[in-house]
Structure 1
Amino acid sequence: MGLFDDLSQFLENRLEEFLRNNPHLELEALLEQLREQEEDSLRLIADLQMQEKRSQDEILTTAQEIQRWHVRVDKAKAAGRLDLAQAAQEREAALLREGNQRWGQMQGIKERITQAKELLRRVQQRRQEVQTKAAEAQASRTAYQAQDRFETTGWSQSRNFSANADDLEAKFRRWETQDELEQMKRNMGR
């Protein structure tokens, strides 16, 4: 086991080093993880909503049974069948307890739905933040690469710089002189 643990630790350290050296990949991995959490949260919400619907259906069925046994209690009492009335009342009471229990379970499911929706909102918010950071990192990387290309291009062109420098210098002097003359003309015209 020691060799596998050492190898595992080595690979984990190399992965962490690689991600530190490539932060954009770390952001992409985090984005993927957040996408999976978002999908898991959506599945959980859908599952809980199905449980809530089943629970509501069971409560409705139980309520209908309570109502049916309540009518039977009244009917048995009216007919003077107290033995049947007593048994029907016991059944009605058991169904009421069952209904209350189901109601409590449904309330628990509703609370879990609320929590899952809050979790989903936080995951989506975090994903948006990471997407923004990833876009900023991409823009920064692109700007750095452009600057790097510019500097590399400028460096390779610097060999030709000395030959063109005198010509460029002369052009700038003529332009600056011309600009100064134009400026003096404008100032004199005032």
Structure 2
Amino acid sequence: MSRSGGDGADWLDQLEAKLEQTLEAFLRANPAQQELLQEQEQRDRQQQSAGRRRAQRAEAELLRQELLNLAAEIQQWRQRVERARSAGADDLANRAQRHLDQLMERGRGRWLQLEQLGRDLQQESTKPAAEPSLEQAWAQFERDQELEQLRERQRQHR
């Protein structure tokens, strides 16, 4: 008595829709829970953003290290090209030059990657914080209003 894939998917879709409706009804009936959920979602987004920044910084550090290693290797192959040329080993010098050119191209590629990472990090750090939801903004407005009313009452009692 196995069900076909379509029936199972329909059942799962119906269950998911019912759960979503139940959650929405619960959150409408419990606005404080809605606010807590939104705050948690905001914290999750901030943690994900911080994780992306950490990963980008680690990648940038690896690229910097690779560039330093490439620079040393390029210097070594430049010296080898010169040594081969000055010794008249033109075939070896040409092969070494091609290898040097490949290293230089790899270095340019890594440099471009590092520049792009820098731009990405800059964009991430200048990205404005997510705007609070309407519910959050309204709750903050009400808190501010109540606070102002309390201050006004305190001024009147002095």
**Do the structures match in fold with TM over 0.5?**
yes
Q: Secondary structure at the match of 1:122?
A: coil
Q: How far apart, CA to CA, are the structure 2 residues paired with 1:129 and 1:6?
A: 29
Partner of residue 106, structure 1? 114
Question: Cα distance 1:6–1:74, how it changes in 2: closer, same or farther (>3 A)?
Answer: closer
Question: Cα distance 1:130–1:105, how it changes in 2: closer, same or farther (>3 A)?
Answer: farther
Partner of residue 90, structure 1? 98
1:27 pairs with 2:35:
yes
Q: How far apart, CA to CA, are the structure 2 residues paired with 1:115 and 1:67?
A: 34
Partner of residue 151, structure 2? none
> Which residue identity is paired with 1:86?
N
Partner of residue 79, structure 2? 71
Q: How far apart, CA to CA, are the structure 1 residues paired with 2:53 and 2:117?
A: 10
Q: How far apart, CA to CA, are the structure 1 residues paired with 2:136 and 2:47?
A: 17
Q: How far apart, CA to CA, are the structure 2 residues paired with 1:85 and 1:38?
A: 54
1:18-57 → structure 2 map (5 Å cutoff): 18-57=26-65
Q: How far apart, CA to CA, are the structure 1 residues paired with 2:88 and 2:60?
A: 42
Conserved? CA contact 1:52–1:106, under 8 Å? yes
Instruction: Provide TM-score, normalisation by structure 1.
Output: 0.61
Q: How far apart, CA to CA, are the structure 2 residues paired with 1:128 and 1:105?
A: 36
Equivalent residues, number = 138
Tell which has more relative contact order, 1 or 2 (C-alpha 8 A, sep 6+): 1
Instruction: Provide TM-score, normalisation by structure 2.
Output: 0.72
After superposing the two structures, state which structure 1 stretch, 128-137 or 13-22, moved more.
Answer: 128-137
Q: Deviations over 1:52-82 (max 9, x none)?
A: 0100111111111111111111122222222
> Which residue identity is paired with 1:43?
G
Structure 1 position 111, deviation (Å): 2.7
Q: Deviations over 1:122-164 (max 9, x none)?
A: 23xx3699766545556889xxxxxxxxxxxxxxxxxxxxxxx
Structure 2 residues without counterparts, runs of 5 or longer: 1-7, 147-158
**Identical columns (%):** 28
